Structure 1
Amino acid sequence: MTDPLPNRRTLLAAGAALAATPSRAAADDHVVELRQYTCHRGGRDRLIQLFEREFVAPQDALGAHVLGTFRDRDDPDRFVWLRGFEDYAARPEALTTFYRGPVWKAHREAANATMLDSDNVLLLKPVDPWRRLRSALPGEILVYIHYLDDALVAPFAAFFAGTMRPQIEADGGEILGTFVSETRANNFPPLPVRERDRVFVWAAYSRGGEAAFLARRHARTGWRETAGEALLPALMRKPERLRLAATPG
């Protein structure tokens, strides 16, 4: 009997392997998945161990590159990881080969047993050159997800580059990457993505410590004034913030 392609729990297991130690430069990957998995209580560490031991190298060899694997510091049951592909056309071939291959078949039951949900996935494309988050810097990073209307994605990206990024850097943040939604239809339907959401995502490392960085960010006033009226609703909406700690793999 032919094994089905992965369901929502399948994704988690595959994710675990990808996080190991890929050799490619992140800048080569023009399609990125930001994957947030909710695990059963106590399952996250089991998934991370399995992921890093079994899934990273096989996926990387197929062109599905693990770009970062993290524990969510605010949710003990959430595992976050990123997977990249050289281009959009390479994604379905790499995923089909992996999920129909021997590694996933051997470990999928153990992986799926740790997971409650694996459908929280954003498909993204880089705005500019970026760094592989897993190896960029040790320790903890911040990821911000801004939810936007379609028409505001490009203006928001321009405002971030011209106003927000210089301020973030002045406040002690090092930008590791910026991304916007990949708006083409999901070309690997067995693994769901949040196709209706439009986002701008940025990741940063706080050089002088997270608490000091966030305090400086919160103390800033008036920075929205140059955004223009159309962008103000998006800027007033609180972004989703992920406080992540890199896994040790």
Structure 2
Amino acid sequence: MPVTDFADCPIVELRRYQLRPQGFDELQRVFQGWLVDGQEQAGMRLGGQFRDRRSPDRFVWFRGFASMTRRQEALEAFYFGPAWRAHRDAANATMLDSDDVLLLRPTEPPHSPRPPAGAGGTGPTDSDPWAVVHVWSKVVDEAEALLCGGGHKILEQALGAPVAMWRTEPAENTFPRLPVQPGRHIVALTVFEDETQWRSATDRLRDDPGWRDVVERLDQAGVVTGIDLLQPTAASRHPRPVSRRRSG
């Protein structure tokens, strides 16, 4: 069944590219000019698109699919199609590494992203959103249950913002031309209205006793935590951040 929005996609990729120095703007020119529409027309749904605030030559983005079968069909249609053939050399010339990719599905229970920024007639804002991606690797059953259950609730309450979350899709990668990373992972995405809101949330999370307990249990289970601090691109379809004016 087709999906019309990234938030509804049961299959998701988190793609993290290391680019050549000063390659980010050139890739965005090609990506936004030609490759976004090409992927959407092939059946994919793009989500948030970001620049790493601490490593400006790094591009982080999400895309989704209606199923594993539709993923294979969409990737074949795009990568063997005219848009990619016309612009692949320019895109590939900006990249050092494009193989840091996680193949994901919704958690149980699901924690879907909010509607994208600018959706529903809200229009753009003057704020500079800050996005945070947590990636927990070497996840075991107990850690997945903790993060997707009580840990998710603690995380949202401490941050004061919705947290979208996905887990590893265990199905075989049926498009091996684009490799995905092995192992079990949990990925969370949180978007803040601006730097001030993010810093306040980070302070609350650091001081939250419930979250400290979660971190200790994850450490004991051997889970490895990574955090990406991101800036949405102009065309990003990241979840709409919660406004402090609306949330009080």
TM-score by length of 2: 0.80
User: Paired residue for 1:32?
Assistant: 12
Query: Is the 8 Å Cα contact of residues 134 and 246 (structure 1) preserved in structure 2?
Result: no
Indicate whether 1:192 and 2:172 are aligned. no
What is the CA distance between 1:81 and its match in structure 2? 0.7
Match of 2:208 among 212, 220, 235: 220
Find the residue that maps to 1:35 and give its secondary structure: strand
User: Any runs of at least 4 consecutive aligned residues in structure 1 with deviations exceeding 4 A, and if so which?
Assistant: 222-229
Q: Which amino acid aligns with 1:173?
A: G
User: 112, 123, 126: which one pairs with 2:106?
Assistant: 126
Is the CA contact 1:70–1:246 (under 8 Å) kept in the aligned structure 2? yes
2:168 to 171, 176, 181: 181
Amino acid at match of 2:113: R
**Percent sequence identity over aligned pairs:** 35
Per the TM alignment, residue 215 of structure 1 is displaced from its structure 2 partner at its CA by 1.1
**1:117 corresponds to 2:97:** yes
Q: CA deviation at 1:225?
A: 4.9
Q: Which residue matches 1:145?
A: 135
Task: Give the direction of change, closer, same or farther, for the CA distance of 1:77–1:132 in structure 2 (3 Å limit).
Answer: farther
**Equivalences, count:** 221
Q: Is the 8 A contact 1:175 1:202 kept in 2?
A: no
**Residues 162, 107 of structure 1: alpha-carbon distance in 2 compared, 3 angstrom cutoff:** closer
Label 1:47 to 1:133 Cα distance change in 2 as closer, same or farther (>3 A): farther
- TM-score if structure 1 supplies the norm length? 0.79
Q: Point out where structure 1 has 5 or more consecutive residues left out of the alignment.
A: 1-22
Determine helix, strand or coil for the equivalent of 2:67.
coil
Cα contact 2:133–2:187 (8 A) shared by 1: yes
Which of 205, 215, 218 matches 2:191?
A: 205
The superposition leaves residues 44-70 of structure 1 with CA deviations (integer Å, 9 ceiling, x where unpaired) of: 111012101101112112111111211
